[in-house]
Amino acid sequence: MDIKLFLRNDGCPKCEELKNKLGEQLQKIPVYFIDTLDGLTEAAYNNVLTTPTLVHKGNHVVDLEEIAKIIGEKMDD
């Protein structure tokens, strides 16, 4: 899969909003929580500087609506 989603799991309002919006779709894509060592390592490798961020085909997407749209399209494939 050519997408990776980076979130925080410590109460970040935007991350919580996105998690609620995506619901069960989160279980079908790679999600990395940057407040864990593995997630932070992956974020550093992908040059992720803010959350939530979706890395899609090498591009960084930070707009919540755009992230939800891309993930929705991936689930339809």
- Burial label for 65, CB within 10 Å (0-12, 13-18, 19+), is exposed
Domain that holds residue 53: 3-76
Domain count of the fold of the chain = 1
pLDDT for the residue 53: 97
- As a whole number of angstroms, the distance between CA 36 and CA 64 comes to 22
Convert the pLDDT of each residue in 21-77 to its tens digit: 999 999 999 999 999 999 999 999 999 999 999 999 999 999 999 999 999 888 876
Q: Which pTM does this prediction carry?
A: 0.92
DSSP state of 68: H
